[in-house]
Structure 1
Amino acid sequence: MRVLQTEDLTAYRQYLTQNREHLRPWEPERTESFFSDQECIARISLMHQHTEAGTAIPFSLFMGRDMIGVCNFSNIVHGVFQACHLGYAISAAHQGKGLMREAVEAGIHYMFEKQNLHRIMANYRPENLRSAALLDSLGFEREGFAKRYLKINGVWCDHVLTAKVRDDE
């Protein structure tokens, strides 16, 4: 698990293109240019800017040289809130093997222990039973339901709102 580097461009593009259909139901609409080297490099650069600014930690998951998923902590707010949002995805070839759980669990530990956050929020579409089960198994609690919350694949979709609060405080 690490933040992408420019030299990861090939692995990043390969992950995106190989999983385009697999991820389509859960992500924003993607144009052809989204998959171009130029836009991938721009996103990698933006990831570094957000990491350096302390507003996000966009981890990518690797198995050897192959990128197999993402575990992103975004919208990081310090001060009295001490919270962020969690987003994640894993390649079709690696789902169902416990790898996403392992990555998210490690990411949560890092955010609580190293970033000193108090709260991590994660939202999922009601029909995404895998995400529901993963978050539940990691101790996320349902906090609400948001109608037409995010525009996913061109359609405004409802989401279940969950959060995990640090236990030791």
Structure 2
Amino acid sequence: MLQTPVLLTSRLIVRMLQQNDTTAIVNYYTENRDFLEPFEPFRPKNFYTRDFWAQQIEKSLIEFGYDRSLRLFLFKKDDPKKVIGAVNFTNITQGISYSCSLGYSLAENEQRNGYMSEALETAIRYVFNDLNMHRITANYMPHNRRSAGVLRRLGFTIEGYSRDYLLINGKWEDHIRTSLINPNWRVG
């Protein structure tokens, strides 16, 4: 059986979803729909259903097993059944790149508590040390100051500005591109 990471911080459990988490993840996205929608791509009609998430959980386990993605979710230690956020490392590439893309979200009512920085510090350490990634890229819309602050505090460096870069909520949005380099990367 595939061993998936369970990352612990002082206040959080950061882990991949399991099939018994379908209700929790549907609740997370349903409760935060209006808050997250301006920052995310259009969702398929069945996105807010348990059937959709049962398939997504299976898909994410397969992708992790083939070193293609790592999709983690945040749970408070004092409420380990409720999803409060997501941290996704996608587009994992090895060979000449050893890189991946970072995306994340946090529940509206959990903002400004430092949870995302706490989760990302631990998740990035895992991606650098255990998955041996050399580079993590992250993009944010220029008006998303909270995301800019999180990335800046974590040491991400701005690399550029891309016009009409990603299709977000049905509209092409400009993005600021950033990256973080693993100072301890090692050959294979």
Normalised by the length of structure 1, the TM-score is 0.97
Q: Which of 65, 69, 86 does residue 102 from structure 2 map onto?
A: 86
Q: Report how many aligned residue pairs link the two structures.
A: 169
Partners of 1:44 and 1:67 in 2: how far apart?
A: 14
Partners of 1:142 and 1:11 in 2: how far apart?
A: 34
Partners of 1:31 and 1:108 in 2: how far apart?
A: 29
Q: Which of 99, 124, 127 does residue 140 from structure 2 map onto?
A: 124
Structure with higher helix content: 1
Question: Structure 1 residue 151 and structure 2 residue 167: aligned?
Answer: yes
Task: Give CA-to-partner distance per residue, 1:41-62, whole Å, 9 cap, x none.
Answer: 1111111111111110101111
Cross-structure match for 1:62: 75
Provide runs of 4+ in structure 1 moved above 2 Å. Answer: none
| Structure 2 residues without counterparts, runs of 5 or longer | 1-13
Normalised by the length of structure 2, the TM-score is 0.87
Partners of 1:119 and 1:29 in 2: how far apart?
A: 28
Structural mapping, 1:1-169, within 5 Å: 1-63=14-76, 64-169=80-185
Partners of 2:44 and 2:139 in 1: how far apart?
A: 24
SS of 2:124's equivalent in the other structure is helix
Partners of 2:127 and 2:139 in 1: how far apart?
A: 17
Q: CA deviation at 1:38?
A: 1.5
Letter matched to residue 20 of structure 2: E
Task: Give CA-to-partner distance per residue, 1:84-116, whole Å, 9 cap, x none.
Answer: 000000001111100000001111100111111
SS of 2:177's equivalent in the other structure is strand
Q: CA deviation at 1:79?
A: 1.4
Q: CA deviation at 1:31?
A: 4.0
SS of 2:75's equivalent in the other structure is strand
Partners of 1:41 and 1:96 in 2: how far apart?
A: 31
Cross-structure match for 2:9: none
CA RMSD of aligned residues (A): 1.0
